[in-house]
């Protein structure tokens, strides 16, 4: 009952909805566009010890020399602790920006430290780039499939994602030209093209050098900025790194980098290399978001780079990931039924599996978890609902033995699904198994 000063009681107004969030109606439209990551939603299940997780892309840092890292941090605190634990520049500390330029030089990028902005991982860099370029309703072009974290960021800023098809050589130039022309005819200019050219997450596909030149030329033609996201570029397993797109044009391309895959993700140090005018806007956006990126993390990473043979450490990581990649490819070849196809990544963390015709990866996931194997359904990597036949498989963290067992379990689930389709008359003639294909039919 509600009592009023006149002594009269009136019945309380009864709430008629079932919302558990009292502030639902107060959130911004932007907040309502936010969606939980499909990968994060799997963590609780995938982390159970009896489950072989082929779902997440967590780097394996077991081979990181923790004694060296510990000694560097101890010396850092003793000698420069008051600096390392103080506020810093919104752009990032000058010394680590210089070191970042040395790292990028391995992929042919000639950059000046003044054009580098340090971020809390490359994910924050992507958020800042999207913030300074996109208004609600703006168009972003993105590979199909594309990184789930990027799609979440674009959605949070209410941008419209237009996917561009790719094949085993990367983005299709004519598909990009067609998408750009369609946007122009609709009176919309894409704010940028988002691409992961090296070992794309999730497909594992690498854009060839010739294809990079063609895509860059089309972006010049239509006045479209390129955002090159390159967290895996130095983790090439079969050859030397391909020159970065940013190395081909320092005005048309914004480059995102990270130490999460080549050192350790817990420090959350990434960066954005951008044309000078864009860099000014990024620093302003950075200062409004965090005031300054974590100074201690920058000093810790900088100390590691200065006092350890980090190039040899990357080689060690590559050897480890190569063994895991090969284990997954061999297991797929051994266990997967006819009609399944998959990519052959030359680096990075992921294989992109296309299931036999008629199967749905999202519907199959609960049965896979029951069989004690986890994966990420392909629909997570599209903004338009495609990818139902696709699966992202990660080989970066489990041991080769666990990968072999995980793929075996997954193949059993796939075969059970095929039997169900045959039982209920949904079977189609099996397709020939192709061992060297692009992303699969769902991407076009």
**Chain segment 397-434, per-residue pLDDT in tens:** 999 999 999 999 999 999 999 998 888 765 443 333 33
Q: How far is CA 408 from the centre of its chain?
A: 26
How far apart (Å, rounded) are the C-alpha atoms in residues 269 and 120?
5
Mean pLDDT of 197-207: 97
* Terminal C-alpha separation, the chain: 61
* Residue written as token pair 């680096």: 347
Q: Are 320 and 211 in contact (CB under 8 A)?
A: no
| Beta strands per DSSP E along 124-262 | 139-144, 160-167, 170-171, 192-195, 225-229, 253-258
Judged against a pLDDT cut of 70, whether residue 62 lies above it is answered with: yes
Q: How far is CA 266 from the centre of its chain?
A: 16
Which uninterrupted H or E stretch holds 391? strand 390-394
Judged against a pLDDT cut of 80, whether residue 390 lies above it is answered with: yes
Confidence (pTM): 0.88
How far apart (Å, rounded) are the C-alpha atoms in residues 165 and 92?
36
pLDDT confidence of residue 20: 75
DSSP letter string, 10-66: EPPPPP-S--S-TTGGGS-HHHHT----HHHHHHHHHTSTTSEE-S------TTS-H
Q: Which residue has the higher pLDDT, 46 or 17?
A: 46
pLDDT confidence of residue 378: 96
pLDDT in tens, 219-250: 999 999 999 999 999 999 998 999 999 999 99
* Token pair in block for residue 143: 């590979």
Which uninterrupted H or E stretch holds 218? helix 209-222
Question: b/e string for 397-411 if b means 16 or more Cβ within 10 A?
Answer: bbebebbbbbbebbb
CA angle 253, 300, 152 (to 5 degrees): 45
Which uninterrupted H or E stretch holds 377? strand 376-377
pLDDT confidence of residue 443: 38
pLDDT in tens, 293-305: 999 999 999 999 9
How far apart (Å, rounded) are the C-alpha atoms in residues 161 and 366?
29
- Secondary structure letter of residue 187 according to DSSP: T
270: which residues sit within 8 A by CB, 6+ positions away? Answer: 118, 119, 120, 121, 122, 123, 124, 125, 256, 257, 258, 259, 260
**Burial of 49 (C-beta count, 10 Å sphere; 0-12/13-18/19+):** exposed
pLDDT confidence of residue 105: 97
Mean pLDDT of the chain: 90
Cα–Cα nearest to 51, from 370, 440, 437 = 370
Q: Are 59 and 264 in contact (CB under 8 A)?
A: yes
Cα–Cα nearest to 224, from 250, 187, 256, 253 = 253
pLDDT in tens, 349-374: 999 999 999 999 999 999 999 999 99
Judged against a pLDDT cut of 70, whether residue 41 lies above it is answered with: no
pLDDT confidence of residue 215: 98
pLDDT in tens, 163-201: 999 999 999 999 999 999 999 999 999 999 999 999 999
Q: Are 245 and 216 in contact (CB under 8 A)?
A: yes
C-alpha distances (whole Å) from 253 to each of 161, 195, 212, 339 are 19, 11, 12, 39
pLDDT confidence of residue 428: 45
Judged against a pLDDT cut of 60, whether residue 339 lies above it is answered with: yes
Cα–Cα nearest to 226, from 248, 209, 206 = 248
pLDDT in tens, 300-328: 999 999 999 999 999 999 999 999 999 99
pLDDT confidence of residue 444: 32
* Token pair in block for residue 393: 């498989």
pLDDT confidence of residue 299: 97
Mean pLDDT of 286-298: 94
pLDDT confidence of residue 23: 77
How far apart (Å, rounded) are the C-alpha atoms in residues 176 and 215?
8
| Beta strands per DSSP E along 206-349 | 225-229, 253-258, 270-273, 341-342
pLDDT in tens, 248-260: 999 999 999 999 9
Which uninterrupted H or E stretch holds 100? helix 94-104
* Residue written as token pair 């895959």: 261
């Amino acid at each position: 009952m509600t009592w009023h000063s006149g002594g009269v009681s009136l019945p309380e107004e009864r709430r008629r909805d079932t919302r558990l969030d009292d502030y639902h109606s107060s959130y911004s439209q932007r907040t309502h566009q936010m969606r939980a990551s499909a990968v994060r939603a799997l963590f609780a299940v995938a982390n159970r010890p009896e489950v072989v997780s082929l779902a997440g892309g967590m780097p394996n840092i077991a081979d990181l020399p923790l004694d060296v890292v510990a000694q560097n941090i101890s010396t850092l605190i003793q000698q420069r602790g008051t600096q390392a634990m103080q506020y810093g520049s919104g752009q990032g500390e000058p010394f680590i920006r210089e070191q970042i330029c040395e790292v990028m030089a391995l992929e042919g990028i000639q950059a000046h430290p003044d054009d580098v902005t340090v971020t809390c991982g490359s994910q924050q860099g992507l958020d800042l780039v999207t913030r300074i370029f996109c208004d609600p309703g703006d168009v972003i072009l993105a590979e199909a499939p594309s990184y789930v974290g990027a799609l979440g960021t674009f959605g949070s800023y209410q941008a419209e994602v237009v996917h561009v098809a790719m094949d085993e050589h990367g983005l299709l130039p004519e598909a990009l030209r067609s998408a750009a022309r369609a946007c122009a005819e609709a009176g919309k200019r894409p704010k940028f093209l988002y691409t992961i050219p090296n070992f794309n997450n999730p497909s594992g596909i690498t854009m060839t050098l010739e294809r990079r030149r063609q895509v860059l030329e089309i972006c010049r033609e239509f006045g479209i900025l390129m955002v090159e996201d390159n967290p895996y570029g130095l983790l090439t397993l079969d050859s030397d790194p391909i020159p970065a797109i940013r190395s081909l044009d320092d005005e048309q391309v914004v480059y995102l980098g990270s130490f999460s895959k080549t050192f350790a993700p817990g420090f959350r140090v990434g960066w954005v290399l951008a044309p000078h005018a864009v860099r000014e806007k990024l620093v302003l956006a950075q200062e409004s978001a965090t005031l300054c990126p974590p100074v201690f993390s920058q000093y810790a990473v900088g100390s590691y780079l200065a006092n350890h043979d980090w190039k040899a450490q990357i080689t060690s990581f590559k050897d480890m990931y190569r063994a895991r990649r090969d284990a997954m490819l061999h297991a797929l070849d051994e266990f997967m039924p006819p009609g399944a196809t998959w990519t052959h990544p030359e680096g990075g963390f992921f294989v992109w599996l296309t299931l036999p015709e008629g199967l749905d990866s999202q519907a199959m996931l609960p049965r896979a978890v029951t069989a004690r194997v986890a994966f990420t359904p392909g629909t997570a990597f599209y903004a338009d609902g495609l990818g139902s036949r696709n699966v992202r498989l990660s080989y970066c963290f489990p041991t080769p033995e666990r990968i072999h067992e995980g793929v075996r379990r997954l193949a059993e689930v796939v075969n059970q699904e095929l039997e169900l389709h045959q039982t209920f008359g949904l079977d189609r003639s099996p397709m020939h198994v192709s061992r060297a294909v692009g992303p699969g039919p769902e991407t076009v």
